[in-house]
Chain A
């Protein structure tokens, strides 16, 4: 799993640096100097890194599966398969919660989204009771209200 992540991130870096180079090329003489001075070596190094990651991945793969002719129905040595995808699923779930919070803030504002998010998250992710979840959500929202709206007289 780590290998896939390494390679995936390496590809991401290559793409980003490539973008900096391509866009940087189009700027006038002075504005393009520093971007290109940084992004061209960056692109080269990120490609190098990608190569490294792939080579390392192949090497560790070979270590884990030394004998190619494994019986088809035997469980593969990398028994982390099921656990790995649980981890990935958890990561995705957490990020979806966070992005949902951001979307809520954007469209519904802080004062609505925060209590809703807290109640939902504490209840469904942290598996707390409704009572505790609403208690925490309410007190935090109240604190935010007091500090920002009353104390500082700013709106969020």
Chain B
């Protein structure tokens, strides 16, 4: 196995593989920067180019492209509040407020460091798990998915900060909105008013664009000035501050990475969930005196970024082990692997182990390269946040609409963005947690779907499966903690 590890590394640095990987990285970053275009679409676009490459080059090219798309998207999420794709949505919840405080550079630095380290972590875990890949994937089923989603919902409650009623309302609204559309169990179309666009439900990207980006832009136009409020005479806190932050909060980094890998390994939960769960989990551990989550807590950037890239490493697991794609982009990757003659399955773990390690190494190196590139650009890019808002905002809003539209190429996306933009704007003004609503939007369907599947397959006793039970215990602990914490804090204050 050590041989394969070494061989894999050498293969990556061989020519032309390394050349293709570099092209892939640059292209992937650029696509990530373009709003609304995320991992799967990018891969689909570059796939034809890989047909004529040899195996190693194709792997380097495709994985190189794919693994950095989210990094590009994080940059726009932080600078302008416009997510490049689903996973970036969680990053902008605290990333954009950081930019508003003039700390865009720091946020970008933290995002990249967290992403690179999280990706590394995911890669390491992936490498270690290679011997026991298959059994691990098989351990999780609908009951476990259900409990994980419930855990996410429980985290929701903590996101409401000091106004639990508003937070719960926001969360419930998000959960309900996610149920709009055709459900898979009987085929009923719920809350669709006979509009075909709604049959497939409310999509995440236009929602986030409306709820956050557009709402923030309207707010920006209203209040005037620029994104970053230069009211303090302070040095633009550079990206390296952010990098240091990641190391300082290493506990959040590790936890989020683990979460990301685990969720990546389990096909069936969808990648966006990982970022939001990580965010929720980090918010759980907020200590008194820290910046409130949603208002620019650097951990709110570190957590989802680490999870998102760790998840990609994890998603390779079922893809390699079973030929079952762990995520949308993995499905495309799978097709590409088959074209170049690589068959996912047992042989990848045995005879072609070096190719597997090539994939793993490419993931790591591509991430690192992307991080370096962006870090170099971080300072000039973050100067944009000091531009006059009334000039920047209309451009960003146009970009928002383009990005939203790219989701399904229909005006429905734009309408969703506007409606949620109006709601998001009101929510921001009246202090409702948009993060809670977003979490509900992401989790609602997953909760319902897995609940019904679990009952259908196992009957009502599904909850007694060991891992599910474990998750129930964790959920109860989390809930209990969120009630106790304010009580304990008040007692400490009184004692002081």
Using a CB–CB cutoff of 8 Å, the interface residues on chain A facing chain B are 2, 5-6, 9, 12-13, 16-17, 20, 23-24, 27-28, 30-31, 34-35, 38-39, 41-42, 45-46, 48-49, 52, 87, 90-91, 94-95, 97-99, 101-102, 105-106, 110, 114, 117-118, 121-122, 125-128, 136, 140, 144, 147-148, 152, 156
| Max chain A Cβ within 10 angstroms of own Cβ: one of B34, B165, B394 | B394
Q: Are the C-beta atoms of A136 and B395 separated by less than 8 Å?
A: yes
Q: From residue B165, how far is it (CB to closest CB) to chain A in Å?
A: 6
Residues of A within 8 A of B166 (CB): 49
B175 touches which of A38, A95, A97, A98 (Cβ 8 Å): A38
Q: Report the bound CA distance from A136 to B168 in whole Å.
A: 43
Which secondary structure characterizes the binding site on chain B? helix
Indicate whether A114 sits within 8 Å of B176 (C-beta atoms), given known contacts A128-B391, A147-B34.
no
Please give 17 more A-B residue pairs, beta carbons under 8 A apart, in addition to A136-B395, A148-B402.
Answer: A9-B430, A30-B186, A31-B186, A31-B190, A38-B444, A90-B222, A94-B222, A97-B394, A98-B218, A102-B411, A105-B411, A118-B394, A118-B395, A127-B390, A136-B391, A144-B402, A147-B34
Whole-angstrom distance between the Cβ of A149 and the nearest chain B Cβ: 12
Q: How far is the CB of B22 from chain A (nearest CB, A)?
A: 18
In the complex with contacts A98-B418, A147-B34, A34-B448 CB distance below 8 A = yes
Q: Which of B191, B391, B411 is close to A23, meaning CB atoms less than 8 Å apart?
A: B191
Least CB distance from A34 to B in Å reads 4
Closest to A46 in B: B169
Asked whether A42 lies within 8 Å of B188 as measured between CB atoms, the reply is no
Within 8 A of A (CB), among B216-248: 218, 221-222
**Residue contact A35 to B218, C-beta cutoff 8 Å:** no
B residues apposed to A, CB below 8 Å: 34, 45, 165-166, 168-169, 172-173, 175-176, 179, 183, 185-186, 188, 190-191, 214, 218, 221-222, 388, 390-391, 394-395, 397-398, 401-402, 405, 411, 414-415, 418, 421-422, 426, 429-430, 444, 447-448, 451-452
Contact B172 A38 (CB under 8 A): yes
Query: Using Cβ atoms and an 8 Å threshold, which residues of chain A touch B176?
Result: 17, 20, 35, 38-39, 42
Which residues from A are CB-within-8-Å of B398? 101, 114, 117-118, 140
Residue in contact with B401 in the complex, picked from A2, A42, A95, A102, CB distance below 8 Å: A102
On whether A9 and B426 interact (CB within 8 A), knowing A49-B169, A98-B421, A102-B414, the answer reads: yes
Given A42-B176, A98-B214, residue A105 in contact with residue B430 (CB < 8 A): no
- Smallest distance from the beta carbon of B31 to chain A beta carbons, Å? 9
B154 to chain A, nearest CB (A): 15
**How far does the Cβ of A122 sit from chain B's closest Cβ, in whole Å?**
6
Neighbouring A residues of B452 by C-beta, 8 Å: 30
Give 9 A-B contacts (CB < 8 Å), ordered by A residue. A16-B173, A20-B176, A38-B444, A48-B165, A87-B222, A90-B222, A106-B411, A144-B402, A147-B34
Are the C-beta atoms of B218 and A34 separated by less than 8 Å? Answer: no
Given A42-B173, A101-B401, A102-B401, decide whether A126 and B391 contact each other with a Cβ distance below 8 A: yes
Assembled-state Cα–Cα distance A117/B411 (Å): 17
Q: Which residues of B contact A90 (CB under 8 A)?
A: 222
Bound together, the chains give a CA A27 to CA B430 distance in angstroms of 33
Shortest distance in angstroms between A133's beta carbon and chain B's nearest beta carbon?
9
What residue in chain A is nearest B37 (Cβ atoms)?
A152
Chain B residue contacts of A49, Cβ below 8 A? 165-166, 169
Among A30, A34, A52, A140, point to the contact of B165 (Cβ < 8 A): A52
How far is B422's CA from A31's CA once the two chains are assembled, in angstroms?
29
